Amino acid sequence: MPRGDRAVRHFHHDGVTISVSRGGQGLLVLCPGLNSTQADLRELTGSLRHNHDVVTFDLHGHGRASAADRDADHR
């Protein structure tokens, strides 16, 4: 993927959708805090993506990630 490009993908599992963005070179994974989202990391990831492949994601129930299906939580 060319430097600076950003790809957003959505992964689905057990009724939960997780939004993941990725772009740059040299892999870094940034995990948001409990009350933050990948959008809160946008400025930092924008700077880091000049030299690194940065992966960010939203925890389920936050940002673009869906909340778990209540039935899936009780399996």
Mean per-residue pLDDT of the chain = 80
- pLDDT > 90: percent of the chain: 15
Does pLDDT of 69 surpass 50?
A: yes
Q: Where are the domains of the chain?
A: 20-69
CB 49 within 8 A of CB 6: yes
State residue 44's pLDDT score.
93
How do residues 31-51 score in pLDDT, each as one tens digit? 888 789 999 999 999 999 888
Across 6-75, the runs of DSSP E, i.e. the strands, are 7-13, 16-23, 27-30, 53-57
Q: Which residues pair with 55 in a beta bridge?
A: 22, 29
State residue 43's pLDDT score.
93
